[in-house]
Amino acid sequence: MNRKYKVFAINPGSTSTKVALFENDVEVFSANVFHDAEEFKKFEEISDQLPYRKATILEELAKAGVSLEGTDAFAGRSGGFVGLAGGTYAVNDTMLHHGRIGFTVKHPANLGCQLAREFASEYGGVALVVNPPDVDEFEPIARVCGFADVERESKGHPLNQKEVAQRYAAEVGKRYEDLNLVVSHMGGGVSVTAHRKGRMVDSTDVINGDGPMAPTRAGALPATAVVKLCFSGKFTEREMYNRITKNGGLTDHLETADVREVRERAAKGDAYAGLVFDAMLYQVAKYIGAYAAVLKGEVDAILLTGGIAQDPEVVERITERVRFIAPVRVYPGELEMEALAAGAIRVLSGREEAKTYTGVPVWGGFPK
């Protein structure tokens, strides 16, 4: 790459905003800017936090002597949009509106597109969003389940998954669009996804109760048993929802989401902790096999990523079950900031064209 591009990546979370400045693919500055929880109480809507978040980010940059002058692109992790194809999107008025109102979900990430636009307006450069959580590339067959009035949804980790897929493709001298991959992101939630020729055609659902159990997610459950719990009178609707989406998996079994703590307990003789942890890895491997079947066994590689992939023993135990399918490659950690910068650079360098957000979902439902 002849020209040096300057990209500012922005990743808003519940209590902080991660920011990083890149020169091409080299991170030259990063910070996790923490925000005052008491200050947040003053804001009725998430989008009302925008001026406060921007000010605290600029304060952090000023302390570090970092200037945003000359920045080519501001890339935000953002959401709240309708289902859309994967890629890098220019922040337009429709996207900005959907982010502001939380059109499909209200989450701090909705601020990503807003912050990108704010900084771009002040410092120049373009405002972009890269592979938001709303990426939906499912094939119709992947949406069908056993209830006619329920559809399977695309709810995974597209930002990190597509980044590691792009990295693997570059390493083997091929294009992502020419490969078949099974990618598993393993963090607080675990997603396993079939990538066919550059599209995430089917995936486990990290939100609605599907796939492997995880440190904080229940994963797939026997449906009739769940129905009985729902009508047992022991739990409210919110309690059951939280048990599935926030307090399931390792948390429900062992009262902790810390994988290191679970490993330590197992090593000290806690047989149940060892069994539950083994079961989680077993389930990840089982779903990798299932998504290899989605690709008809034509799998170029299996990619493991996310925070849990930093543990060599975890990787080895999954690998020993799935290596017969395809070679296993590991990209430990969550590469969200790098993914935001990489998506922006692909657009700035002309290797990829920025997409336009239309506000019209890519999937309109089954014809009936």
| 3-class DSSP state of 25 | coil
Model pLDDT for residues 293-316, shown as the tens digit of each residue? 999 999 999 999 999 999 999 999
Please report which confidence band the pLDDT of residue 239 belongs to, taking 50, 70 and 90 as the band edges. Answer: very high
- The arrangement of secondary structure in 172-334, i.e. its CATH architecture, is 2-Layer Sandwich (3.30)
Please give the order of strands across the beta sheet that includes 301-306: 199-203, 190-196, 180-186, 301-306, 328-332
Q: For 104-118, what is the mean pLDDT?
A: 95
Model pLDDT for residues 169-223, shown as the tens digit of each residue? 999 999 999 999 999 999 999 999 999 999 999 999 998 889 999 999 999 999 9
Model pLDDT for residues 258-289, shown as the tens digit of each residue? 999 999 999 999 999 999 999 999 999 999 99
Answer yes or no: same fold for 6-135+337-356 and 172-334.
yes
Q: CA 26 to CA 48: how far, in whole Å?
A: 33
Of 208 and 325, the structure prediction assigns the larger pLDDT to 325
Domain coordinates of the chain in residue numbers? 6-135+337-356, 172-334
E strand residue ranges, the chain:
6-12, 16-23, 26-34, 73-76, 88-90, 126-130, 180-186, 190-196, 199-203, 301-306, 328-332, 355-356
Q: For 27-44, what is the mean pLDDT?
A: 94
**pTM given for the model:** 0.94
pLDDT of residue 3: 86
Superfamily of domain 6-135+337-356: ATPase, nucleotide binding domain (3.30.420.40)
Q: For 156-178, what is the mean pLDDT?
A: 97
